[in-house]
Structures are given as structure tokens and as C-alpha cells.
Structure 1
Amino acid sequence: MNKTDTVRLYGAGGHSQIIKLLLEQNGVSVNEIFDDNPSKSHPKFKNIIPGIKHHSSFPYEGAPFIVGIGDNMHRYKIAKVLTSGFAKAIHTTAVVDPSSILGDGSVVYAGAVIQPNTYIGKHVIINTLASVDHDNIINDFVHISPNVTLCGLVEIGEGSHIGAGAVVIPKVKIGKWCTIGAGAVIIKDIPNYAVVVGNPGKIIKMNYPESVLV
């Protein structure tokens, strides 16, 4: 994890709750939590600070942020607006090979394993018990859900969501802003913006996120 004693969180939902506990286990203090909808925050959180759209003079400068939001598009929009630095965090039970790279703003949850020579971009979530094998490329704003298995030499494009328990066989490339359904088995390359379900995985529709195409 980054060498910092204090981190600010943006987002006060379930993901942010887990990240807060993870940081505290690593001896990192979380002294400010921001959210665009404070009234809908997780019940464990108190004293939520209104987010950017409610704040006439948002405190951009200060301790680094982690954007604790599970939805990739929402995380993308917030991270693109923040101008501060970003921290990253790895749970104490996760295994990350020293040869692998973890980008700023990214978080590795409990029990996840990241094998050698893997590149993980910025603001990525590697969720609980996910297995990321050797020589993977996981680009910015991806979410690898719990119990996902990525075999060797897999590439995941920006913003894609890999659903819980999905399996991707070796050397497969998944495009950007794809949605891979829970339990899907991906045995061939997937184009940008595809929504895929089943075993073997089949494209059921295309989902074009206009806000990231401009």
C-alpha cells in the first residue's frame, strides 16, 4: 500500500465500509468520508461530508482519496473530477506477487491472489477471493468480483465488470466497458461494450456508455 498515514474516502456505501476496515487494519486512518447522497449512506457511517455536487468549496487538496464505489461508471466519473492524489490498499490476507503492478486508487480485498507479472491499472477493484493468474492486464476502472478466476495472459479492458464466480480461460481478451455475468465462462475474445452471460459465455446485447465515448 502507499506510504500514507491518512486516506479520505469518497463514497459511503458497502464498498467504502469494507475499504475503511481494510485501511484501518493496515494502520491507516480514515478521517473524512464524502458522499453525494449522505442520507443514503451505510448505517455504519456517521458524519458524512456532502460530495462535490453539494459542496461550494470542495476540499480537493489534502490526504489522498480512494473512491469506494463499486459501480465502475460512477467511480470513473468521481475519479475524473477529483484533483487530489489517490491511495491504494491491499488487504492483509491478499497475496500480490512483487513483480505485479497495482495502480493508484486500486484496492485488493481479502483472500485475493494476484500472480506474477500482472498489470492492474488505476481505480480497479479486485474483490474477495478473486484469483488473477500470471501476466494479466487489467485496465483502469475494472471491477473483478468475488471468486472470479482469470487464467494466465488475460486482458480486461477499461471499465469492464466481471461478475461473481466468472471464469476466463487463458489468453482471452475482454473489451472495454463490458459486463460479464455472474458464473459466466469466457472461452473467446469479447468485443467492447458487450453484455455476456452463460457457459459458454454468449453476448446477449451491447451496452454503449455514451458518457465515456465522448
Structure 2
Amino acid sequence: MLTIPPRLPLLIWGAGGHAKVVADVARASGWEVRGFLDDTPSRTGGVFYGSPLMGPSSVLFRAEAEQTVAVFVAIGCNAVRARCVIAAQDAGYSVPVLIHPSAIVSETVEMGAGTIVMAGSVVQADTRMGRGGIINTGASVDHDGQLGEFVHVAPGARLTGEVVVGDQTLIGAGAVVIPRCRIGRMCIVGAGAVVVTDVLDGMTVVGVPAGPHGR
């Protein structure tokens, strides 16, 4: 079953295009977006996408900070998102799962903290996902998927049944992975690729059928 923490006011860590979509998902599912955090000095103050820019992420870790808000990391880079989610959790913040109301998610799915399922996406029965995952707009993960931590399934990508994806891997927009393929850690599957064989850790694959980039 999905576990979603109580709806405290939400701070979004990040203030770029991805953060806008995260804010839309949060608001559509009933969260109050208290503000955004951004580490670019020139962006402190003012308003971003309807909520205040509240300063750099360091405000979360001041001695006087109180964990009276939830924190969601809205950073597309898998490695950076991993560091930020872990830091927020280590500091005692609630890091929720966000699911757009239009997404279809089986009640048997398990998702780690900081995962987001965006509009029009589908996650099917008995899929397991680690922390900090992104199931982007219109993507789908079919039954019995096993996704590691900080995986990004980009818009329109399709993971068919029993696919395994390692930590911090990117499945590019519109890519397709056939059933029971295993994709390793820190891989990149290029946009529009069709994966028909296993992909080893750290590989970048592109094309139809997908093969090593630059072969």
C-alpha cells in the first residue's frame, strides 16, 4: 500500500521547470505549497509560480529550523536529487510521495519517500519503487516492476511487465523496455530507444533496437 505522510505545508526544493510541474501535482492533490527554495543567490525573494521564493536550501538546516513543513525535492538530476532527499530525511523532515489525481496507481504499488507520479501516468500491480523516483507525464510502469532509488522514467516512456531498473537510471522520453529486461545502475536509455536486452551498469544506450551510444 502507498504511504503518504500527513499534509503539512510543503516546501519545494528547487525552482525550475520541473519544480513548476511538481507544484501542480502537489496543489492538485491537496497540498499547500508554502514556498520554493533555490540556491541561486539572485533568486532569493519574490514569487515563483504562485508561491514565495524563501531563500537557499540552507534554511532547512539552521539550528533554529523547525520540522513543521514537509519537503519535496524537485530536481531532475538523479544524483543531485539523491543527495538532497537524503539530507532532508537526515534532518528530520517528512518527504512525501506525490501522485497527480489523474494518474492510475495500483493499490499494491510501493513507493519510497520523495517519489512523484505525474499527470496521466500509470503504475501497475505489485510494482516496487525506491526513494526519489520520477514517473513523469504520461509514462507507464507495468506489473511487477522493480525500480531502484532515484530513477527517472521520462515523459511517455513505457516499462512493460517485470522490468528491473537500477538506482539513478534515466529512461528517456518515449523509450520502451520489453518484458523482464534488466537495466543497471546509473544508466541512460536515450529518448525513443527500444530496449530488448539487458543493459549493464553505467551504460548509455540509444536507438531501435537499443545499443551502446557511439558504437
Q: TM-score, normalised by structure 1?
A: 0.88
CA distance in 2, matches of 1:86, 1:67: 8
Report the equivalent of 1:4: 7
CA distance in 2, matches of 1:149, 1:56: 38
CA distance in 1, matches of 2:16, 2:179: 34
The aligned runs of 1:1-214 (5 Å cut-off) are 1-37=4-40, 39=42, 44=49, 47-52=52-57, 57=62, 59=65, 61-82=67-88, 83=91, 84-204=93-213
Shift of 1:39: 3.6
Shift of 1:70: 1.2
CA distance in 2, matches of 1:175, 1:185: 16
Decide whether aligned partners of structure 1 residues 19 and 52 sit closer, same or farther in structure 2, where only a CA change above 3 A counts: closer
Q: How many residues align?
A: 205
Quick one: which amino acid aligns to residue 85 of structure 2?
A: A
Quick one: which amino acid aligns to residue 49 of structure 1?
A: M
SS of 2:36 mapped into structure 1: strand
Quick one: which amino acid aligns to residue 20 of structure 2?
A: Q
Q: Percent identity?
A: 34
SS of 1:75 mapped into structure 2: helix
Q: Any conservation in 1 of the 2:34–2:51 contact (CA below 8 Å)?
A: no
Per-residue CA deviation, residues 84-136 of structure 1 (Å, 9 max, x unaligned), is: 22011100100000011121110000000011000011110000111110000
CA RMSD of aligned residues (A): 2.1
Quick one: which amino acid aligns to residue 56 of structure 2?
A: G
Q: Any conservation in 2 of the 1:94–1:113 contact (CA below 8 Å)?
A: yes
Deviation beyond 3 Å, 4+ runs, structure 1? 38-43, 52-56
Shift of 1:54: 7.8
Q: Any conservation in 1 of the 2:34–2:52 contact (CA below 8 Å)?
A: no
Decide whether aligned partners of structure 1 residues 60 and 126 sit closer, same or farther in structure 2, where only a CA change above 3 A counts: farther
CA distance in 2, matches of 1:203, 1:61: 45
CA distance in 1, matches of 2:38, 2:186: 24
Q: TM-score, normalised by structure 2?
A: 0.88
Q: Any conservation in 1 of the 2:11–2:36 contact (CA below 8 Å)?
A: yes
